Amino acid sequence: MVAPRWKAALDKALATYPKATVIQLASIDVNTSIPHVRSLIFRSFVSPTDDPSHPLLLATTDVRSPKTAQLIANPHVQVVWWIEGVQEQYRIAGRAHIVPAPKHSLYRQFMHNISQFSEGNLFDWDAKRIEVFKSMSAFMKASWCRPVPGSRLEGGQEEAKKWPVTLEDPKEGDEEGKRLWEMSLRNFALVVIEPQDIDYVELEPIPNRRTRFWRTAGGIWNEEELVP
Amino acid sequence: MVAPRWKAALDKALATYPKATVIQLASIDVNTSIPHVRSLIFRSFVSPTDDPSHPLLLATTDVRSPKTAQLIANPHVQVVWWIEGVQEQYRIAGRAHIVPAPKHSLYRQFMHNISQFSEGNLFDWDAKRIEVFKSMSAFMKASWCRPVPGSRLEGGQEEAKKWPVTLEDPKEGDEEGKRLWEMSLRNFALVVIEPQDIDYVELEPIPNRRTRFWRTAGGIWNEEELVP
């Protein structure tokens, strides 16, 4: 099977504008029926089953952030990806799952979910998680050993100034560095999004174009032209 | 009362980066419990009660788009606004309402809603709607006299090539121009968002800063420092 046409378009846009990696992920808090949306950085596509027709989007998060609980209660999400340089918007609906550290209490739940949605249960998700963690900047790595994101800042800015600004792979005998590295890696999680329905708008051509792509149960992508 | 501090920060960021007006609006389809999110252009703030502590965000839409039904069934939304140039993210939670043309079947519903959420029922919303419509480019104006957005494109690109590309205020005796202008104005609607809870992240200062602002029943804005 081949990669869907929307992915080829996205790959082309990203080849020209490689910094256009800011995406917005919308989820629902089922307790309040309130939508939540935040910016994330798209890291890469991953195809755990080596099937190019089934690309998953990879982003990262702190496992302690509210989106973890939201996605477990309701995995339905939509990503919107506006690529200014090519005047294209991709709205990607599907399911999202959090890949926590194996010792995390949610890991079993994740393995259950991921096996359903991507037949990806033979894939070494923790190896992927560690690979992505190591590829992050020292500055980003330090962001996962702060107190719980979104919690009240106890002690104010004076306290915040004590947080490590960067975090490097600890050298032999650096016990404090090792403690921080392990804390950070424990809080670091992947966000895996499985695209199921894509609304692709091109604002550069006149008349503008809009196409819907959706993945059927058999793994085949259908497409239909829509009114922009 | 004075403008809330988050708005002062946003005004400052927009003064430096006036083109950073792409926002993402998340809503819920209550029939499916699926979140929806799309990019919109922020047009301006509006204060129908002349109270600077109560700024509303203004965007526009085609009243026939699915977000109209979504917002009527559940007005809870969140906007995310990432301003790259200043490395700031504003997540604005609140309620959103659609301001349709007065003859639209939803107008009465809108007037009921808006009177609850902004004491703005004495404000001339239709004058505002027409003012914003007139300020749009001829190209944008033409986008509201196409078939229903998101519907199947009957006739394909050949049909789409027949749509008007631009739309100007019709001259005396231009019956076809007048018909299109009226159709476009009838489909044109405002999206009015009332901010209630703002999550403001600043990624430029080290340590990063994150602040929550929320509006109390008395109209006073509270704020609290959070862990980024």
- A37:B79 CB<8 A: yes
The single-letter code of the amino acid at B22 is V
Is 0.85 exceeded by the ipTM?
yes
- A79:B37 CB<8 A: yes
Nearest neighbour of B147 by CB, restricted to A84, A165, A227: A227
Tens digit of pLDDT for each residue in A18-67?
A: 999 999 999 999 999 999 999 999 999 999 888 899 999 999 999 999 99
Nearest chain A residue (CA) to B30: A33
Residue A219: count other Cβ atoms within 10 Å of its Cβ.
11
Where chain A has pLDDT below 50, the residues are: none
Mutate to test the interface with A, among B19, B21, B23, B24 (most CBs of A within 10 A): B24
Tens digit of pLDDT for each residue in B132-178?
A: 999 999 999 999 999 999 999 999 999 999 999 999 999 999 999 99
The single-letter code of the amino acid at B218 is G
Q: Does B65 or B123 have the greater pLDDT score?
A: B65
Place of tokens 């099977």: A1
In whole angstroms, how far apart are CA B178 and each of A221, B136, B169?
A: 42, 17, 8
pTM of the predicted model as reported, rounded to 2 decimal places: 0.97
- B150:A226 CB<8 A: yes
Element spanning A80, H or E: strand A76-83
- State yes or no: pLDDT of B118 exceeds 70: no
The single-letter code of the amino acid at B169 is D
Residue A142: count other Cβ atoms within 10 Å of its Cβ.
20
3-state SS assignment for residue A15: helix
Calculate Rg over the CA atoms of chain A. 19
Which residues from A are below 8 Å from B228, CB to CB? Answer: 143, 146, 149
